[in-house]
Amino acid sequence: MGGKASKILEETTLVKCSAHGDGSPVICGAPVSEPIEGMKGGKDGRYKLGDKEVVQIKSHGMIKKHSTVIDSDGKIQAYVVNKTKSMTKGESYILKTSPSYEGQEPVDIELLSKWCGIDKDMKLYGFAKIESKKTGMTTGKATYSIVDGGDDKFKQLYEAEKLSTMNFHCVVRSAGGDPVATLVMAGMTVHVAVRAAEGVDLAAVLLTAWSTFSPDGATAGALAGAGVI
């Protein structure tokens, strides 16, 4: 059922990612130390290599929604909250418990608790954002950018593209255009197969890829008031 999209991804050669060579931070741990082949992700957001769980992206709530990024040790490394401008565009923000730069102000946790269901006792800081848009009935694009210095300036690291197919076929590229990951959900399966190049931020790649599929934001209007953007 992937047709042309499947062929494109099969012929895509991944290139070692240099996006974090300058020390740009990652969401979990460290950049991938070697190429990944055959990683599987399920509908519960768990991604495994064989029997080893590598990362989980866990959704919380139905109305007050947010997600957590959980590392291989079961520790929460980041929180993801969503904002939407329209049915075809979306913005997601990745927040962490430590500031991205000296003097960074925390987001307004009262508003995030109200709109996203995050614990009021948390102190969270802007880390990165994902901007996504539908480019057609079955296609979409998304970009991932990290906070880069004061005034919450951003630096783009990745761009993901969902190819034209009813199923999920996606390629993620570095800001320079090199392919660094592919994700495929073929046939009637609920599992996604992941390939990733050495050097990528795996959690960032996964979040950005899925944003091409659903630029959804159940927390419309919350983030601007919370000081996230």
Average pLDDT over residues 16-26: 95
H-run or E-run covering 40 = strand 36-41
Average pLDDT over residues 149-174: 90
Residue type present at position 156:
Q
Cα atoms in the 13 Å half-sphere on the side-chain side of 154: 18
The tens digit of pLDDT for each residue in 71-130 reads: 999 999 999 998 765 678 899 999 999 999 999 999 998 888 888 889 999 999 999 999
The overall average pLDDT reported for the chain is 87
DSSP 80-125: EEEEEEETTEEEEEEEESS-SSTTPPPP-HHHHHHHH---TT---E
Tokens, residue 112: 């995030």
pLDDT at position 86: 67
- How many CB atoms are located within 10 Å of the residue 114 CB? 16
DSSP state of 5: H
Spatial contact of 25 and 206, defined as CB atoms under 8 Å apart:
no
The structural domains of the chain, ordered by start, are 4-226 (3.20.90)
Tokens, residue 151: 């005034």
Q: What is the reported pTM? A: 0.89
DSSP state of 152: G
Does residue 152 carry a pLDDT above 70? Answer: no
Q: d(Cα 180, Cα 191) in Å, to the nearest integer?
A: 20
Q: Give the closest residue to 182 by CA, choosing from 14, 1, 4.
A: 14
The tens digit of pLDDT for each residue in 177-206 reads: 999 999 998 666 678 999 999 999 999 999
pLDDT at position 111: 86
Determine which of 22-26, 46-50, 134-138 has the lowest per-residue pLDDT on average: 134-138
The tens digit of pLDDT for each residue in 126-138 reads: 999 999 999 998 8
Tokens, residue 199: 């050097």
